[in-house]
Amino acid sequence: MIRKKIMKNKILNIKNLSKSYGAFKVTDQIAIDLNFNEIHALIGPNGAGKSTLIKQIVGSVKQDRGSILLDQEDITDLSDVERAKIGISRTFQVSSIIPSFSAIENIILSLLNKSNKTFQLFKNIKDNNELELKAKNILREIELIENSGMVASELSHGDRRKLEVGLALAMNPKVFLFDEPMAGLDESGTQMMINLFKKIKLNTPILLIEHDMEAVFALADRVSVINYGKIVATGTVDQIRSNELVKDVYLGYEI
């Protein structure tokens, strides 16, 4: 009975996910899951396979073995676009936005799919007040409303990171995969993100890859540690902090 309930709570459930390039195993039998109302952080040294795992979840890298369940539905064989459409939303490690679009246009682009506007061929997009209103709300949430008309290529690094998260928010997905959203942010930017993520997780769970340990410990409900493509430990922040194996992985680093 209890077991069943736990199963039901899993919005994202990844089992046995493996991928190798030749003899090199980038991800090795990874099992990781995401509950409702949860931030699950994934940490590990550079090259441990974190980003490859994200790519496999969104479908841009095909796994050799394993399965991915989203909301009890097997999405293992779906393409990357199909996965995005049914509710997996990601941010990129290196900001990946449409450079010639303004901030608000970037957000509107991200709103098109959910509002079924992509194939509106002749209606002027600027006349769509509803989309504009939604986009402005998101820009307000990521504290970018002042620069909403600014061309994305001219935004500062920090603002681009925020916009990256804004694009994910606009999709209104079932899960968020955030790939180092705080990389290169200043203190106030990081704090804004922390507050924002705390708010987001009440509705939508987050799988968070992050190097900023302070942020991870402030946010994560659970932490998994990945090394050489394997999950070596999963647990609460306190459990992970006191785990000997994890200390080995982060040899010489204070965590």
**Whole-angstrom distance, CA of residue 61 vs CA of residue 80:** 9
At 21, is the secondary structure helix, strand, or coil?
Answer: strand
- Contact flag: residue 98 with other proteins (CB under 8 A): yes
From candidates 21, 46, 100, 254, binder to other proteins by CB under 8 A: 100
**At which residue do the structure tokens 């708010």 appear?**
199
Quick one: which segment of 62-70, 96-104, 140-148, 229-237 binds other proteins (CB under 8 A)?
Answer: 96-104
- Residue pair 95/163 in contact (Cβ under 8 Å)? The answer is yes
- Contact flag: residue 105 with other proteins (CB under 8 A): yes
**Residues 117-146 close enough to bind other proteins by CB under 8 A:** 117-126, 128
- Give the nearest distance from C-beta 73 to other proteins in angstroms: 16
Q: Which residues contact 58 (CB under 8 A, 6 or more apart)?
A: 80, 83, 84, 88, 90, 177
**Residues 152-171 close enough to bind other proteins by CB under 8 A:** 167, 170-171
**Whole-angstrom distance, CA of residue 51 vs CA of residue 92:** 9
**Residue among 80 and 221 whose Cβ is closer to other proteins:** 80
**Whole-angstrom distance, CA of residue 4 vs CA of residue 82:** 28
**Residues 3-42 close enough to bind other proteins by CB under 8 A:** none
- Interface with other proteins: number of residues (CB under 8 A): 36
**Residue among 64 and 82 whose Cβ is closer to other proteins:** 82
Structure tokens at 76: 């293992």
Cα angle: 53, vertex 57, 60; to 5 degrees: 90
Which is nearest to 103 in space by CA: 141, 57, 73?
141
Quick one: which segment of 70-78, 87-95, 198-206, 229-237 binds other proteins (CB under 8 A)?
Answer: 87-95
- Give the nearest distance from C-beta 164 to other proteins in angstroms: 10
Residues that bind other proteins (CB under 8 A): 58, 60, 80-81, 84-85, 89-90, 92, 96-101, 105, 108-110, 112-114, 117-126, 128, 167, 170-171
